[in-house]
Structure 1
Amino acid sequence: MNWEIKDLMCDIEVVKEKINDVAIKHGWFVEDKFVKNELETKQEHINFSASYLEHRIQNEHTVELLQVYLKEFGELIQKFHEIEKASLQADQSESNA
């Protein structure tokens, strides 16, 4: 049982690192693309509009990755609950013996 929990914790750490990577990458994107609070000139509006597709793709990929990682995280939480339930049942069996 203990090795199952250690294995699960390793999997959780991997998902945490993946989410952190997405957050860092998106932070770089925001820092690079959104350097001002608002666009002031016509040329800034044109440049921003020209990169609209790139922004949309970046945002879609970020959301998709986060959804995948949240699903993985949910599955790991479910495994933890299953391990916890099995552990409680084993403890009750030992108590009754």
Structure 2
Amino acid sequence: MAVSIDRGSEEQAKKVVKSYVDRKNLTFLNLLDPTSATAAQYGVNGVPMNFFINARGKVLAFASGYRKWDSKEGLLMIEQLLSSAKPMKTGK
């Protein structure tokens, strides 16, 4: 999931994000935070900023700045975070 903090009117932000998503052929969820309210809650102080959040909403790790997530190091970090994640219990 990506959260865009593009400034301006909501309509302008939607156009900018849609253009980027279409150009890059992104297939994951892209949300808008035009007032930066969510960014402020997470202490975002630069872009891009990446957060790894578990199913309960706890931030497990974060990285500021560009990262090559498909590199050996990036994939290793993601694999370690996934292996340490505990599945949520469902009803019953």
TM-score (norm 2): 0.27
Q: Which structure features the higher share of strand residues?
A: 2
Q: Give 1 or 2: higher helix fraction.
A: 1
Q: TM-score, normalised by structure 1?
A: 0.26
Q: Which has the higher contact order (CA 8 A, sep 6+)?
A: 1
